[in-house]
């Protein structure tokens, strides 16, 4: 993806609590690649992250995420936090959530004063208002039962921080109070405000998804191109501020964005596209020795002794079904998923960009580690992958 001028590129950040670390990894990759954003709109944690970005202080926001943990933002003890992690949250319970402990009930929800204090150390209203970058957020007036989509120019002076907290006041938190009205999380109206950015006239929009709880709306505007960056793995719970998980999600966002920006291959790992074309894939399959082909055939239950070419095709077909890939998948996708399956079982580092040759050399080495809960199907895939890549490597 080539750099697009700031006047035409917008950014929408989906709400998702602790999953918001993913936003910052994505934006880091875009900024490092020379992209800039003319508009940023976000909901809930997306609004908070969007404020860092729009005011031109991305690095401070990124450092905040690197050091954050649950007890630095929630005024609760460890036992209450563990209870918070066990909340059974889904879209149907967003309006029905009740406080789970005595402290939550007394305070009309979980205290957000520590969150406010933390955000106030990074967000600067003057910088945000003076920035040339458009900035918007979504919240819901609990008092009026009305959604609000507000750009910075719509928010009264001195109240930007108030509305940021309002956008992120998840059900179960204390509602934000502004001018005698109560406000809650904007995810109850639009959790990924692509339409807000489009309304400002932006035709190319990067939408960073977290797959968090909330309502998402269809795009209302024609002629808008949206690049969705979607997590390649589960980001964890919306309340899970475990520091190791946060740092993993920062990395995941960075590399998932690199996949889009630079056209990298892979689903769970990341490969330079020029390192594995279809011709090379066919060459790798044809390089598998007859002995390996026949032993794989026996393992996968292929009867008889058909010609080598037919037997190879049957092996690919069997493994394609075991990996639950589409019937007519390309040989490139087949080999990548086969290698990735083995790599995951061996616990190989995901957050780097490989050439496919380097990846195969690495995946051949070492024992299987992450096989808890594996059934016969997964074990067979790993055994077949090991045999194929060992044979190709020896060749």
Among candidate residues 57, 134, 162, 185, the one labeled active-site is: 185
pTM, to two decimals = 0.88
Could you tell me which residue, 122 or 93, shows the higher pLDDT? 122
Measured distance between the N- and C-terminal CA atoms of the chain, rounded to whole angstroms: 36
Expressed as residue numbers, the domain containing 350 is 273-394
CATH of the domain at 127: 3.40.1090.10
Cβ-Cβ contacts under 8 Å for 372 (sequence gap 6 or more):
none
Could you tell me which residue, 249 or 2, shows the higher pLDDT? 249
Structure tokens that stand for 381 in this block: 């895939």
The alpha helices in the chain, defined as continuous H runs, are: 21-32, 45-54, 58-67, 78-85, 102-106, 113-120, 125-130, 160-167, 194-199, 243-262, 278-286, 290-299, 308-322, 331-346, 356-363, 376-394
Catalytic, 185? Answer yes
- pLDDT score recorded for residue 392: 80
One domain, residues 166 and 101: yes
How far is Cα 383 from Cα 386, in angstroms, rounded to an integer?
A: 5
| pLDDT bracket for residue 96 (50, 70, 90) | very low
- pLDDT score recorded for residue 389: 92
Mean local confidence (pLDDT), 114-129 = 92
Is 346:367 a contact under the CB 8 Å cutoff? yes
Last residue of a domain, one of 262, 296, 326: 262
| pLDDT bracket for residue 256 (50, 70, 90) | very high
Q: How many domains does the chain have?
A: 2
How far is Cα 167 from Cα 50, in angstroms, rounded to an integer?
A: 12
Mean local confidence (pLDDT), 286-308 = 80
Tell whether 149 is covered by a domain.
yes
One domain, residues 151 and 193: yes
Q: Is 366 exposed, middle or buried (0-12, 13-18, 19+ CB in 10 A)?
A: exposed
Among candidate residues 44, 131, 167, 169, the one labeled active-site is: 44
Could you tell me which residue, 128 or 86, shows the higher pLDDT? 128
Q: Residue 106 above 50 pLDDT?
A: no
One domain, residues 75 and 104: yes
| pLDDT bracket for residue 99 (50, 70, 90) | very low
């Amino acid at each position: 993806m080539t750099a697009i001028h700031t006047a035409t590129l917008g950014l929408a950040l989906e709400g998702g609590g602790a999953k918001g670390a993913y936003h910052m990894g994505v934006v880091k990759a875009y900024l490092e690649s020379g992209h800039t954003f003319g508009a940023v709109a976000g909901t809930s944690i997306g609004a908070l992250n969007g404020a860092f970005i729009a005011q031109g202080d991305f690095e401070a926001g990124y450092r905040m995420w690197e050091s954050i943990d649950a007890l630095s933002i929630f005024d609760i003890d460890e036992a209450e936090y563990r209870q918070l992690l066990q909340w059974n949250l889904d879209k149907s319970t967003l309006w029905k959530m009740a406080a789970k402990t005595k402290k939550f009930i007394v305070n009309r929800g979980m205290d957000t004063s520590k969150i406010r204090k933390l955000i106030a150390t990074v967000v600067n209203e003057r910088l945000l208002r003076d920035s040339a970058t458009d900035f918007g957020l979504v919240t819901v007036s609990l008092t009026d039962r009305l959604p609000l989509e507000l750009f910075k120019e719509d928010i009264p002076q001195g109240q930007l921080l108030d509305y940021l907290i309002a956008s992120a006041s998840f059900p179960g938190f204390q509602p934000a109070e502004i001018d005698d009205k109560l406000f809650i999380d904007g995810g109850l109206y639009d959790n990924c405000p692509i339409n807000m950015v489009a309304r400002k006239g932006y035709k190319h929009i990067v939408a960073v998804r977290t797959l968090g709880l909330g309502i998402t709306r269809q795009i209302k505007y024609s002629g808008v191109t949206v690049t969705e960056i979607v997590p390649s793995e589960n980001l964890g719970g919306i309340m899970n501020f475990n520091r190791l998980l946060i740092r993993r999600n920062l990395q995941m966002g960075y590399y998932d964005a690199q996949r889009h920006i630079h056209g990298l291959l892979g689903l769970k790992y990341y490969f330079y596209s020029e390192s594995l074309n279809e011709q090379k894939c066919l060459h790798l399959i044809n390089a598998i020795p007859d002995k390996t082909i026949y032993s794989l055939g026996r393992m996968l239950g292929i009867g008889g002794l058909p010609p080598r070419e037919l037997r190879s095709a049957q092996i690919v077909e069997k493994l394609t079904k075991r990996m639950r890939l589409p019937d007519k998948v390309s040989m490139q996708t087949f080999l990548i998923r086969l290698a990735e399956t083995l790599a995951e079982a061996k616990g190989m580092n995901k957050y780097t960009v490989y050439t496919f040759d380097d990846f195969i050399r690495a995946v051949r080495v070492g024992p299987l580690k992450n096989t808890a809960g594996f059934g016969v199907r997964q074990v067979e895939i790993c055994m077949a992958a090991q045999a194929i890549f060992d044979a190709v490597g020896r060749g």
